[in-house]
Amino acid sequence: MDDTGWRPVKRTRTFEDVLAQIERRITEDGLTVGDRLPAERQLAEQLGVSRSSVREAMRVLETLGVVSSQVGRGPDAGAVLTSRPDSALTDLLRLHLGLASLEMREVIDARHMIEQWAAAHAATSGADTSALAAALAGMDAARTAEEFVEHDTAFHCAIADASGNRLIAAIMRSLRDSMRRYSVEAVQRLGDTSVLRADHVRILEAVERGEAGEATRAVSEHLAHAYPALFR
Amino acid sequence: MDDTGWRPVKRTRTFEDVLAQIERRITEDGLTVGDRLPAERQLAEQLGVSRSSVREAMRVLETLGVVSSQVGRGPDAGAVLTSRPDSALTDLLRLHLGLASLEMREVIDARHMIEQWAAAHAATSGADTSALAAALAGMDAARTAEEFVEHDTAFHCAIADASGNRLIAAIMRSLRDSMRRYSVEAVQRLGDTSVLRADHVRILEAVERGEAGEATRAVSEHLAHAYPALFR
DNA sequence: GGTTCGATATGGTCTGACCATACTGTGGTC
DNA sequence: GACCACAGTATGGTCAGACCATATCGAACC
């Protein structure tokens, strides 16, 4: 061991300090969704940094779906704390898929896992299933693959919502969004969507009857129908 | 319906244009991890925008774990494409937990889901399990709850890695990181970690023998032991 | 009371400068 | 030729100050 006890001095960029201070204020002061942060110029002066650094920190928070900035003047203007993890996750997945650092197979496997979990929990939670039925009707009325996928996504996200876990629902949404194009192609390749319709009805009924095991199986087989190339 | 067909003009900020162009370059030119983006000043001139806007776009990409910026000069300097979804996910979860827009219960449920899936797939993938054994030894040598949790995290992340799905492994890492403090408290409350050790051995042996069902059950019961307050 | 219009606070953008960092190349030294 | 010291330079990081677009507020006016 030639460990001298020295550690590399971590280069801390100004905007990272700003980020840390804002995060500290959030946790210590118990700030919550809807609260406003100070204006950029004011924050810059209070922290003794330039407005650019504050802005870069804001950009980070906005990217993570924690704040939302509005121009103008008034109660709604400025940086407001929000909670939009969905778009952040979607951007993250889309970019990493574009970089080929993630493969579609991995995304679909993750979806498989989540959908099974969500269906089982939706079945046992006894949550409202009207959104599911509405999405089903939307799929019946769809005239293009794009429309079909849109309502199909709504159906599956509604299951995730019904599971009662917002984190898993957010991940579900992001996974669907990031593979939207792929789903449209899969539906077009499939042509006939009657198989998928029967699957959806089966899932819906299982959830409504509270049969978690059947819901899990139904979802699993449904995904196998929808993406046969990946489940051979 | 008084819908006139008008839609609000989407305000597009300059840095969002920059982001879109960079993303287009990534997908169209097939840029991949390790490739360098043009320097900030150069990019600003090419796109006809100010350097501030380019920098804000860079900050977004860095937040999403897609680029990494290095100062100085040379082959490694500048903005390099990377693939670090872990830290992005961790930041996202930590901030949303701090905002109380997510509850620990939801995070732990998500972990439960992922760990079961990962253990089953690790068992059937036949991947290397030496990292698991090493983490187990680390836990035995741990003298504080913090040290124990560190190696415990390594153990569970190694399972996720062995499942072969990088996305799920990344989510797993982020979940563990964001609840690190909570895990330490849980271990301290528990006091005796021998129960956890037996659980880990059981999981490891199930994975090594390729018994997916047993691995799933072992993980599930392990989490019930580790977080009894949440599995009552 | 309603309307109009200027004042103002906010984020968005740009310019230009300077600093710290880390490589590059040059020239000298041995 | 090998090595080393040092100036040059390209890079990101930060700052100050200005201007613009937007949205509200408020006073003056009808």
CATH number of the domain bearing residue A76: 1.10.10.10
Give me the percent of chain A exceeding a pLDDT of 90.
75
Q: B81-115, pLDDT tens digit by residue?
A: 999 999 999 999 999 999 988 888 899 999 999 99
Mean pLDDT of the A25-49 span: 95
Of A101, A181, A219, A230, which to mutate for an interface test with B (greatest number of B Cβ within 10 Å)? A101
Identify all chain B residues contacting A66, using CB atoms and an 8 Å cutoff: 95-96, 99
Q: Residue A167 is nearest to which of B52, B95, B102, comparing CB atoms?
A: B102
Give the mean pLDDT of chain A.
Answer: 90
Q: What is the pLDDT of residue B10?
A: 59
Same domain? B107 vs B40: no
Which nucleotide is the nearest neighbour of B55, by CA and C1'? D12
Angle between helix axes B40-47 and B51-63 (nearest 10 degrees) is 120
Evaluate whether residue A162 is within a structural domain. yes
Same domain? A63 vs A121: no
Same domain? A73 vs A106: no
Q: What is the pLDDT of residue B9?
A: 54
Which nucleotide is the nearest neighbour of A50, by CA and C1'? D15
Domain boundary among B81, B102, B134: B81
CA distance to partner chain B, nearest, from residue A194 (Å):
30
CA distance to partner chain B, nearest, from residue A96 (Å):
7
Which nucleotides in chain C lie less than 7 Å from some protein C-beta? Answer: 7-17, 20-24
Query: For every residue of A108-128, which 3-state class applies, written as one string?
Result: HHHHHHHHHHHHHHHHHHCCC
Q: A96-141, pLDDT tens digit by residue?
A: 999 988 888 899 999 999 999 999 999 998 788 899 999 999 999 9
Where do the H-state alpha helices sit in chain B? 14-28, 40-47, 51-63, 85-98, 104-125, 130-141, 145-162, 166-178, 180-190, 194-209, 212-226
Residue A16 has pLDDT above 70, yes or no: yes
Residue A49 has pLDDT above 70, yes or no: yes
Same domain? B185 vs B129: yes
Evaluate whether residue A59 is within a structural domain. yes
Count of the separate structural domains present in chain A: 2
Q: What is the pLDDT of residue B232?
A: 45
Q: Could B60 and A61 be called an inter-chain contact, meaning their C-beta atoms sit closer than 8 Å?
A: no
Evaluate whether residue A1 is within a structural domain. no
Where do the H-state alpha helices sit in chain A? 14-28, 40-47, 51-63, 85-98, 104-125, 130-141, 145-162, 166-178, 180-190, 194-209, 212-226
Q: What is the pLDDT of residue B127?
A: 81
Please tell me whether any atom of strand D lies within 7 Å of the Cβ of A5.
Answer: no
Same domain? B115 vs B226: yes
Q: Could A83 and B101 be called an inter-chain contact, meaning their C-beta atoms sit closer than 8 Å?
A: yes
Evaluate whether residue A220 is within a structural domain. yes
Evaluate whether residue B139 is within a structural domain. yes
Same domain? A72 vs A93: no
Please tell me whether any atom of strand D lies within 7 Å of the Cβ of B197.
Answer: no
Evaluate whether residue A4 is within a structural domain. no
Evaluate whether residue A6 is within a structural domain. no
Query: Domain range for residue A94?
Result: 86-230
Q: Chain B residue with minimal CA distance to A15?
A: B59
Q: What is the pLDDT of residue A100?
A: 83
Which residues are B68's β-sheet partners?
B80
Identify all chain B residues contacting A27, using CB atoms and an 8 Å cutoff: 98
Please tell me the total number of residues recorded for chain A in this structure.
232
Domain boundary among A61, A81, A101: A81
Give me the percent of chain A exceeding a pLDDT of 70.
94
Evaluate whether residue B209 is within a structural domain. yes
Q: B36-69, pLDDT tens digit by residue?
A: 999 999 999 999 999 999 999 999 999 999 999 9
Same domain? B118 vs B132: yes
Ranges of chain B whose pLDDT falls below 70: 1-10, 229-232
Same domain? A100 vs A208: yes
- Determine the Cα–Cα distance for residues B93 and B108; give it in Å rounded to an integer: 12
Handedness of CA A114, B176, A167, B19 (dihedral sign): negative
CA distance to partner chain B, nearest, from residue A98 (Å):
6
Q: Could A59 and B98 be called an inter-chain contact, meaning their C-beta atoms sit closer than 8 Å?
A: no
Same domain? A142 vs A195: yes
Same domain? B49 vs B145: no
Q: A56-91, pLDDT tens digit by residue?
A: 999 999 999 999 999 999 888 999 999 999 999 999
Q: In CATH, what number is assigned to the domain containing residue B176?
A: 1.20.120.530
Question: Which residues 16-45 in chain B have a CB closer than 7 A to strand D?
Answer: 37, 39-42
Same domain? A48 vs A150: no
Domain boundary among A27, A47, A81: A81
Q: What is the pLDDT of residue B104?
A: 87
Same domain? B74 vs B164: no
Q: Could B26 and A171 be called an inter-chain contact, meaning their C-beta atoms sit closer than 8 Å?
A: no
Distance of CA A199 to the CA centre of its chain: 24
Reported as a pLDDT band with limits 50, 70 and 90, residue A2 is: very low
Q: What is the pLDDT of residue B2?
A: 45
